[in-house]
Amino acid sequence: MKWAVLAAAVAAFLGLSAGDALAGRDLDQIRQRGVLRCGVQAPSNPGFGFPDAQGRWQGFNVEICRAIAITILGDPNRVEFIPVTTQSRFPALASGEVDILSNNSTWTLTRDSNVNRFNFPAIVFYDGQAMMVPRRLNVTSARQLNGATVCVQPGTTTELNLADYFRQHNMRFTPVVVADLDELRRAYDSGRCDVFTNDFAALAAQRTLLSRPQDHIILPERLSKEPLSPVIRQGDEELTNIVAWTVFALIDAEEMGITQANVDQIAATSTDPRVRRLLGVEGNMGESLGAARPDYARQIIRTFGNYGEIYDRWLGPNTPLNLERGMNRTWLQGGLLYAPPAR
Amino acid sequence: MSSSSLPLDPPRPLIPLPGGQGLRGILWQAVLVIALLLLGWSIYHNMQANMAARGLQFGFGFLGRSAGIPIGESIIPYTPADTYQRALTVGLLNTLRVAVLGILLCTILGVLLGIARLSSNPLLRGLVGAYIEVIRNTPLVLQLVFWHAIVLQLPSVRQALNPLPGVYLSQRGVKLPVFVADQALFACLAGFALGLLLWLVLAWRERARQRLSGERRSTLLPGLLLTAGLPVLAAAIFGAPRWDWPQLAGFNFEGGVTLSPEFFALLLGLVLYTAAFVAEIVRAGIQAVPKGQWEAARALGLPRGRIMRLVILPQALRVIIPPLTSQYLNLTKNSSLAVVIGYPDLVSVSNTSINQTGQAVEVILIFMTVYLLISLFTSLLMNLYNRAVALKER
C-alpha cells in the first residue's frame, strides 16, 4: 500500500515533467480553450483599458481584443482580461499566462528580436513620449528641466527614452520609479516629482485622474516614436495574421465609409467588390485567414464600428481624454493608418 | 543516562519515519534522497523544456550590456550608460543599506519597547502594549504605503521645513549637510578614532585597578577630553573640514546628502514593524530569567537600572538571540516590499532588468542567490554571537 502511494508520487513527478512543454501552436490552444486571454494595463488606463462600475473592462485596447476574439472564436465575450503592470507584462506573455497583450506596448527591435521573441502584428496607435508639468512651475519646454525629479514607470521604453533624452542634452534628473501607475500618479499629484512622463495619450489619460487636471500642462516636445501594437509570442504565423488582419479590417472599414450603423445595409446593397470581399459577401477571405466565420469583419463592425468609431468612443473629442486624431487618421486624411489591400 | 537500565524496546513510532532503526531506516532515507533528486531533476528539466519551447537562451551575457535604466538613488556612482551588472549592484547596495540600518534601529527601539512593556507604570505599559498589538496585526505593505503617503504630505521643496541650519524636510526627502571628503576631514576622523582607542585603553586599565583596589573611578571626563581634543588638534594643524551645504537651486536642493522619501518611508515602516516583534522577544527573554535573580541582585543593593544591565539582560540574551535572528532575516527579506513605494532595491532593479532583457530565469536566480547569501551571512554572525553569550559550563 505504502509502496503504491510512493510509486504514484514518483509517477506524478515524471508525468509532470513530461507533460510540461506546451505542445502545438498558440492559436490551437485558444480555440481549444474557447477563450482569448488578453493582458491589459493594471490597474487601469482611462480610455484605453479600464474596468467600469460593473467591473467590466472597457476601452480602446479592450475592444481591439474583443474584435480579435470575434475573428478567432466568433464571439466578442469570449475574452478573459488579465491586468498586468508594465513590469509584469512581458514575463506574463512569455510564460503563456496571457495569449496577447493589448496594453499600449511599444514596438521595438529588442522586444521583436530573438532575445525576447515577441511579435507586433499591427500598429493600432501612433504615439510619442511627452512630459507633463504643473502649470505653476512656468516651464514651457523640456529643455528647461535640468535637475528635475521625474516620475516614470519601470520596465518601459519611456524609462529608457527619458534617460537618453537627458543624456543627449547633458541635463541631470532624479527618477522616481514606481510600478503601480496609481501609486505613481499619486506621487506626482502630491508634488513628489516635478515631471510625469509617459506616452502622450496615456499622459492625457492620467491627467484626467489628477486632483486638479487643469493645473497641469503637457510640454510640446515628443521625446520618441511610440508605435503601439498588440503583442503576441513569436512562432505562430497564423495568429500573427489574424491579429494583423483584424486591425486592418477596422482601418479598411473606415476608409470605405462602413460604419456600425450602415454595415448591414452596405453588405446587402453594395456592388463594390472590395467592400463585398471585406464583409464576406464574396470570396473566401475569412476561411483563408482561419477566422471562425467568413463574415468576421462584418461582425466586428456591427459590434464595435470601424477604427474611427472606436477611437471617437474612447479617446476622441467627446471623451475626457479629448485626443486629436493627428497621426492616427487614415492615409486618405493625411494620417499614418494604412492597411494593405484585403483581397 | 544510566547504562544499567532494563533492556526495553524503544517505543514503536506510529508511522515509520526516516531515521528509524536498522535497514528500514536506511531504506527510507534512500527513498527520500532519490525523491529529492527526482524533484530537482524534474524542475531543471521543466525549465529547460519550457525555455526551449519558447526559444529562449539561458546565459548571463546580458550583464555586461549597457542597462539604460535610470535609478533614483545609489551609494556608488551610476548612470544609465552603465551595465546591468552595475545596476544590480546598485540595487543590492540599496537593499543592504536599508537592511543594516533597519536592523540596528529596530534592535534599539525593540529593546526599549520590550523593557517598557514590563514597566510598573500602567500608562507606559498599556501604550506600548497597544502599539505592539496594532503594528503586529496589520499588514506591512499597508504600513509602508501609509508612511509613504505621510512623508509625501510634507511641504514642497520651495516651502521646505528648516528645523536646524542646513537640514531641510520636504516631499523630496531629508536634506542634510555633509563634510567634504578631503585631507582635513580624514585627519579629524583619525584624531577621533585615536581618542576613542585611548579612552578604551584607559578604561581597561582602570578596571584592572578596580579589581585590585576595589576603588571605582570614572573615566568619563578624560575620555571625553581625548575624543574631543584630538580632532580639534587635527583641525588646528590640517585646517577645519569643510561642509557641503544644501542650497535651493532650480528644481531642487543641490549639495548635501539626501534621504529620499521612499528610503525614509521604507526604513520607518520596517523599523516600526520589526521593533514590535523584537519587543515581544525581549519581554519574553526578560521574563524567562527566574525571579530569584532579581531578588538576589536587589539583596546585594544594586540599583534597578544596573540589575537590568548587569544581571538580567546577559541571562535574557540566551533566550532572545535565536528568535531575534529570525526577525533580522525577516527585516532583510521584507525590504523587498520596497517595490510598492518605488525604492530602488535589488528586487525593483531586478524586475526592471527582467522586463528590459527578457532574461527572467537568470535574474531571478541572481537575486535569490543574493538573498540566500545575505541571510546565511546574517545567521552566521548571529550564531557566533549566540555562542559567545551562551551559558558556559565550566
Q: Which of A190, A224, A258 corresponds to the end of one domain?
A: A224
Is B79:A165 a contact under the CB 8 Å cutoff? no
Are residues A122 and A61 located together in one domain of the fold?
Answer: yes
What's the pLDDT band for B20 if we cut at 50, 70, 90? low
Q: Give pLDDT tens digits for A121-139.
A: 999 999 999 999 999 999 9
Please check the confidence at residue A22 and state whether its pLDDT lies above 50.
no
Is B391:B318 a contact under the CB 8 Å cutoff? yes
User: Tell me, what's the pLDDT at B241?
Assistant: 79
Give CA separation, B180 vs A170, B120, B167, B247, B260, in Å: 25, 48, 16, 15, 20
Is B50:A97 a contact under the CB 8 Å cutoff? no
The most confident of the ranges A141-145, B179-183, B271-275 is B271-275
**A179–B351 CB contact, under 8 Å:** yes
Q: Give pLDDT tens digits for B325-344.
A: 999 999 999 999 988 888 99
User: Tell me, what's the pLDDT at B55?
Assistant: 72
CATH number at residue B89: 1.10.3720.10
Residue among A270, A252, A303 at smallest CA distance from A71: A303
User: Tell me, what's the pLDDT at A127?
Assistant: 94
What's the pLDDT band for A7 if we cut at 50, 70, 90? low
Does residue B15 lie in a domain region? no
**B251–A148 CB contact, under 8 Å:** yes
Are residues A151 and A32 located together in one domain of the fold?
Answer: no
Mean pLDDT score of chain B: 87
Least confident of A216-230, B110-124, B380-394: B380-394
Does residue A252 lie in a domain region? yes
Are residues A120 and A234 located together in one domain of the fold?
Answer: yes
Q: Give pLDDT tens digits for B190-229.
A: 888 998 999 999 889 888 888 888 777 778 888 888 888 8
Does residue A72 lie in a domain region? yes
The most confident of the ranges A8-12, A154-158, B248-252 is A154-158
Residues B208-242: b if buried by 16+ CB within 10 A, e if exposed: eeeeeeeeeeebeebbeebbeebbeebbeebeebe
Chain B contact set for A174 (CB, 8 A): 72-73, 252
Chain A contact set for B42 (CB, 8 A): 13-14, 16-17
Does residue B182 lie in a domain region? no
Domain containing residue B378: 84-158+262-389
Residue A63 forms contact with B (CB below 8 Å):
no
DSSP state of B290: -
Q: Which of A189, A224, A259 corresponds to the end of one domain?
A: A224
| Minimal CA separation from A67 to chain B, in Å | 26
Domain containing residue A32: 26-126+227-323
Q: How far is the C-alpha of B229 from the C-alpha of A180, rounded, in Å?
A: 53
Chain A contact set for B69 (CB, 8 A): 154, 159-160, 163
Residue A149 forms contact with B (CB below 8 Å):
yes
**B53–A21 CB contact, under 8 Å:** yes
Residue bearing cell 519611456: A158
User: Tell me, what's the pLDDT at A8?
Assistant: 52
Domain count, chain A: 2
Does residue B169 lie in a domain region? no
Residue A219's contacts (CB-CB under 8 Å, 6 or more residues apart) are A130, A131, A132, A133, A139, A140, A141, A142
Please check the confidence at residue B248 and state whether its pLDDT lies above 80.
no
DSSP state of A210: S
Are residues A177 and A255 located together in one domain of the fold?
Answer: no
Q: How far is the C-alpha of A124 from the C-alpha of A314, rounded, in Å?
A: 14
Total Cβ atoms within 10 A of residue B150: 13
Count of CB contacts below 8 A, A vs B? 143
Does residue A267 lie in a domain region? yes
User: Tell me, what's the pLDDT at A9?
Assistant: 52
Does residue A255 lie in a domain region? yes
Q: Give pLDDT tens digits for B341-373.
A: 889 999 999 988 888 888 888 999 999 999 999
Residue A110 forms contact with B (CB below 8 Å):
yes
Q: Give pLDDT tens digits for A250-277.
A: 999 999 999 999 999 999 999 999 999 9
Does residue B46 lie in a domain region? no
Does residue B315 lie in a domain region? yes
Does residue B149 lie in a domain region? yes
Please check the confidence at residue A13 and state whether its pLDDT lies above 60.
no
Does residue A238 lie in a domain region? yes
Helix (H, G, I), strand (E, B) or coil at A80: strand
Are residues A99 and A237 located together in one domain of the fold?
Answer: yes
Does residue A8 lie in a domain region? no
| Minimal CA separation from A137 to chain B, in Å | 9
Q: Give pLDDT tens digits for B63-80.
A: 998 888 888 888 888 988
In this structure, which amino acid lies at residue A231?
V
Are residues A121 and A263 located together in one domain of the fold?
Answer: yes
**Please, which residues 227-266 of chain A have a Cβ atom closer than 8 Å to chain B?**
233-235
Q: How far is the C-alpha of A45 from the C-alpha of A205, rounded, in Å?
A: 7
Please check the confidence at residue B285 and state whether its pLDDT lies above 50.
yes
Does residue A285 lie in a domain region? yes
Residue A7 forms contact with B (CB below 8 Å):
no
Does residue B98 lie in a domain region? yes
Chain B residue with the nearest C-alpha to that of A150: B72
Does residue A19 lie in a domain region? no
User: Tell me, what's the pLDDT at A207?
Assistant: 93
Q: Give pLDDT tens digits for B133-172.
A: 999 999 999 999 999 988 888 888 778 888 888 788 888 8
Chain B residue with the nearest C-alpha to that of A96: B54
Please check the confidence at residue B252 and state whether its pLDDT lies above 50.
yes
| Minimal CA separation from B314 to chain A, in Å | 45
Percent of chain B with pLDDT over 90: 42
CATH number at residue A61: 3.40.190.10
**B355–A114 CB contact, under 8 Å:** no
Least confident of A319-323, B85-89, B187-191, B250-254: B250-254
Helices (H), A214-236: none
Are residues A169 and A103 located together in one domain of the fold?
Answer: no
Does residue B121 lie in a domain region? yes
